Amino acid sequence: MKTVIIKYNAGNVQSVMYALDRIGAGYLYTDDEAEIRSADKVIFPGVGEASTTMNYLRKVGLDKVIPTLKQPVFGTCVGMQLMCRFSEENSTECMGIFDVDVKRFPSDTNLKVPHMGWNNISNYKSALTYGVPDNAFVYFVHSFAPPVCDYTVAICEYVMPFSAMLQKGNFYAAQFHCEISGDVGQKIIENFLKI
Amino acid sequence: MLTKRIIPCLDVKDGRTVKGVNFVNLRDAGDAVELGALYAAQGADELVYLDITATIDGRSTFIDLVRRVAQTVNIPFTVGGGISSIADVSALLLAGADKVSINSAAVRNPDLINELALEFGSQCIVVAIDTRYIATENSQEHVVHTHGGWKPTEIRTIPWAKEVEERGAGEILLTSMDTDGTKSGFALELTATISGNASIPVIASGGAGTMEHFYNVFTTGKADAGLAASIFHFREIDIPDLKAFLNYKDLPIRMTR
């Protein structure tokens, strides 16, 4: 099986690679369209800011490649947000795979923003959460999130309920960081690789 | 519900964990990678690795250890000790660290916080503040200290905590040098003041001796995370027991077993 991690200005993705190493899954880290299209599985990671990363994807043409991929694609964190329609982070037009807009957490509550730490997810409706216990804890670091929508396949609550995971056809996404979410995160990555 | 985090801190010298009372009389508590993996398996929510000799003797940071930790553990970890430039941070993040903690360098050059937040994102920039209460005839102040908590600065702790947030820090690691190593409990009042003022998470450090101390720092102290070292390393408190206790006391805790 050929797994590709999409290479772009997505900040530090080293921990994603180490997570695949721990599972024993090989991968290619590349921005080459032919390599990406020929992969069995595509991982689209992300750490960073929406407009800068989206501008880069446009510059290198990946914004046209990713939405047309046919194999299972798994976007995480900012990768998931870029797969949505629009992000309030610097008013960024994104790729529109998921027809939902990414909102900033309101800062007028007692709760701190960013949402940082371990929170539980629920209402699973995805193959990625097979075998994951109800209300499992995963690790989040973010100030923006898509609300609950038609594509929501796991919910988390912070200030308000939001989409912890999205799914539409061959596109899968998680707002949290599977790669550092302990055994639960590892299980989700393994499930993705088994699809 | 977002949970309160329990964070073992591994003070590291030459790849091994060391921790002594008030940072002197160092005792060996084992291999740093192995110990971190053990804590992760026990349910630690994050790890902090501090290169404790880095600032004092100017030694460069500990990339190889960071790489081995990142390859081994599947929970987030922060690294600190002697970090003073974008290049230092870049190397540590590339080795697999999730966050970096800066301390003396931020005091020397506060603009560094802005530069790092811009370059890498606030989410991975932790500003560590070592503080000590100084009472003289004319004043009583919480004062920021550097160089492992030994060297007083002109900076007052409470406004400094606000400033580092405004400059882009994603998290504050607050260590009370008054309580550190004493096992008499965290500095609750100061922690509550700083965490109450902050819109970013505050990790409380220094003084943990009992499980109640953690309960107090999460309630009275308003901390988002509690950090300790020797009580974990020497098995005075086991992490599963601590988390079960806090869960029993109705705090939001990530239970893993």
Please indicate if any CB of chain B lies within 8 Å of the CB of A113.
Answer: yes
Predicted local distance difference test score (pLDDT) of residue A40? 98
> What is the percent of chain B where pLDDT is above 70?
91
Please say whether the beta carbons of A151 and B36 come within 8 A. no
Please indicate if any CB of chain B lies within 8 Å of the CB of A160.
Answer: no
Predicted local distance difference test score (pLDDT) of residue B20? 47
- The dotted CATH code for B5-248 is 3.20.20.70
Predicted local distance difference test score (pLDDT) of residue B21? 39
Q: Residue B53 pLDDT more than 80?
A: no
Stretch B75-96: mean pLDDT: 92
If one compares B129 and B13, the residue with the highest pLDDT of the two is: B129
Q: 3-state class of B215 per DSSP?
A: helix
**Complex ipTM value:** 0.92
Quote the tokens at residue B61.
């940071």
Q: What is the pLDDT of residues B131-157, one digit of tens each?
A: 999 988 888 899 999 987 889 999 999
Q: Residue B54 pLDDT more than 60?
A: no
Do B71 and A22 make contact, defined as CB atoms within 8 angstroms? yes
Please indicate if any CB of chain B lies within 8 Å of the CB of A133.
Answer: no
User: Predicted confidence band at B30 (pLDDT cuts at 50, 70, 90)?
Assistant: low
Closest-CA distance of chain B to residue A97, Å: 25
Strands (E), chain B: 5-13, 16-19, 27-31, 47-51, 77-80, 99-102, 125-135, 140-146, 151-156, 171-176, 202-205, 225-228
Comparing alpha-carbon positions, the chain B residue that sits nearest to A112 is: B199
Predicted local distance difference test score (pLDDT) of residue B19? 62
* Chain B residues near residue A144 by CB distance under 8 angstroms: none
CA distances, A170 to each of A20, A42, A73, A98, B153 (Å): 20, 10, 6, 11, 56
Quote the tokens at residue B108.
């020397």
* Chain A residues near residue B199 by CB distance under 8 angstroms: 107, 112-113
Q: 3-state class of A28 per DSSP?
A: strand
* Chain B residues near residue A142 by CB distance under 8 angstroms: 123
Find the helix packing angle between B63-72 and B86-95, rounded to 10°: 30
Predicted local distance difference test score (pLDDT) of residue A186? 96
Quote the tokens at residue B64.
């190889």
Stretch B2-11: mean pLDDT: 96
Phi, psi angles (nearest 5°) of residue A29: -105, 105
Q: Residue B88 pLDDT more than 70?
A: yes
Ramachandran bin of B21, using left for φ above 0, alpha for ψ from -120 to 50, beta for the remaining angles = beta
Do B70 and A137 make contact, defined as CB atoms within 8 angstroms? no
* Chain A residues near residue B96 by CB distance under 8 angstroms: 12, 14-15, 18
Q: Residue B25 pLDDT more than 50?
A: no
**What CATH number has the domain bearing residue A31?**
3.40.50.880
- Calculate the dihedral angle through the C-alpha atoms of B220, B224, B225, B226, rounding to the nearest 10 degrees: -10
Please say whether the beta carbons of B164 and B199 come within 8 A. no
Please indicate if any CB of chain B lies within 8 Å of the CB of A187.
Answer: no
* Chain A residues near residue B254 by CB distance under 8 angstroms: 118, 137
Question: What's the number of CA atoms in the CB half-sphere (13 Å) around residue B195?
Answer: 25
If one compares B115 and A110, the residue with the highest pLDDT of the two is: B115
Please indicate if any CB of chain B lies within 8 Å of the CB of A185.
Answer: yes
Do A112 and B199 make contact, defined as CB atoms within 8 angstroms? yes
Stretch B106-121: mean pLDDT: 93
Comparing alpha-carbon positions, the chain B residue that sits nearest to A161 is: B1
B4-B6-B9 Cα angle (round to 5): 145
How many structural domains compose chain A? 1
Please indicate if any CB of chain B lies within 8 Å of the CB of A141.
Answer: yes
User: Predicted confidence band at B121 (pLDDT cuts at 50, 70, 90)?
Assistant: confident
Q: A140: which strand partners?
A: A117
What CA–CA distance (Å, rounded) separates A151 from B219?
Answer: 37
Q: What is the pLDDT of residues B187-232, one digit of tens each?
A: 999 999 999 999 999 999 999 999 999 999 999 999 999 999 989 9
In chain A, count of helices (H) and strands (E)?
6, 13
What CA–CA distance (Å, rounded) separates B100 from B80?
Answer: 6
Query: How many Cβ atoms are within 10 Å of B129's Cβ, its own excluded?
Result: 26
Which residue range is the domain that position A110 belongs to?
Answer: 3-194
What CA–CA distance (Å, rounded) separates B118 from B143?
Answer: 28
Query: How many Cβ atoms are within 10 Å of B15's Cβ, its own excluded?
Result: 12
Do A158 and B2 make contact, defined as CB atoms within 8 angstroms? yes
What CA–CA distance (Å, rounded) separates B183 from B165?
Answer: 29
Tell me if residue A88 is catalytic.
no
Predicted local distance difference test score (pLDDT) of residue A13? 86
Strands (E), A71-158: 73-76, 84-87, 92-93, 98-104, 115-122, 137-142, 144-145, 152-158
What CA–CA distance (Å, rounded) separates B257 from B254?
Answer: 9
Predicted local distance difference test score (pLDDT) of residue B24? 41
> What is the percent of chain B where pLDDT is above 90?
69
Residues of B that are catalytic = 11, 130
Q: Residue B125 pLDDT more than 80?
A: yes
Comparing alpha-carbon positions, the chain A residue that sits nearest to B200 is: A112
Rg (CA), chain B: 17
Please say whether the beta carbons of B167 and B114 come within 8 A. yes
Do A118 and B5 make contact, defined as CB atoms within 8 angstroms? yes
Q: Which residues of chain A have pLDDT under 70?
A: 11
Q: Which of A119, A139, A114, A77 is nearest to B126 (CA)?
A: A114
Please indicate if any CB of chain B lies within 8 Å of the CB of A14.
Answer: yes
Please indicate if any CB of chain B lies within 8 Å of the CB of A90.
Answer: no
B161-B164-B169 Cα angle (round to 5): 120
- Calculate the dihedral angle through the C-alpha atoms of B97, A117, A10, A92, rounding to the nearest 10 degrees: -160
Tell me if residue A179 is catalytic.
yes
